[in-house]
Amino acid sequence: MEYKNLGRIGLRVSRLCLGTMNFGWQTSEKESFALMDKALEMGINFFDTANVYGWKLGKGLTEQIIGRWLAQGGGRRDKIVLATKAYNKMGEGPNDMRLSAYHIRKACEGSLRRLRTDVIDLYQMHHVDRSTPWEEIWQAMEQLVREGKVLYVGSSNFAGWQIAQAQCEAQRRFFMGLVSEQSLYNLATRTIELEVIPACREYGLGLLPWSPMEGGLLSGALRKAKEGRRSEERTMNLIRKTGAGLKNTSPCARS
């Protein structure tokens, strides 16, 4: 396995990151455990999740599964870089989502509890919050870092100018700010090449592509699927829309 620094920081992560969005939803707990064991065996030390994964309001099912896997011991926690996210709705209250200082603290405590760990290695903002000022967001993140509950902060689904805005405010506060950006990026969706990737290069952020196979579109999409992400209506619509192009694309070009 090849390991690289995550952007400008000293943390080294495997070039492949284990995404866990399907754990507890498409993938059973037993299968999820087997996947994490295999990933660790292959040298993958970077595991990514989010508090909303599992898609049952407020439950954090995927984080719970990862927490139970970590609780088995055997040095599992010390062998991985653990990343999770906050922003999306985790309850029915008016402050149970977005990036207010109130919600960031509450969401972090919930993730730590479900993951059965003392620290989140990479805590990512799942989306930008246009209704919360950066001084509030960074104050909350700085507090979590001081308390040892978070090591690094990252973003997800940010535009290039939002990365610049976040970093300028962090620099003003003498805070490290963002160390990574997680964006939708694959051969079918390349929009981030316009501004997000240049912003990441300028500010030294590691880039974490999500949905590299476009939800299965670029991985055997033309074969019929009755289950899994390739069977979803969104993916099937993409197949119908781009099917001709896929048929004329060689497997090597799509890998």
Q: Pick the catalytic residue: 3, 53, 102, 123?
A: 53
Count of helices and strands (H, E) across the chain: 9, 9
Q: Which of 200, 210, 211, 154 is nearest to 177 (CA)?
A: 154
User: CA dist 192 to 7, 31, 44, Å?
Assistant: 17, 33, 25
User: CA dist 202 to 1, 18, 157, 232, Å?
Assistant: 27, 26, 17, 37
127 CB-near residues (< 8 Å, 6+ apart): 87, 88, 156, 157
87: annotated active-site residue: no
> Checking DSSP bridges between strand 12-14 and strand 3-5, what pairing results, if any?
antiparallel
Any idea which residues carry the catalytic annotation? 53
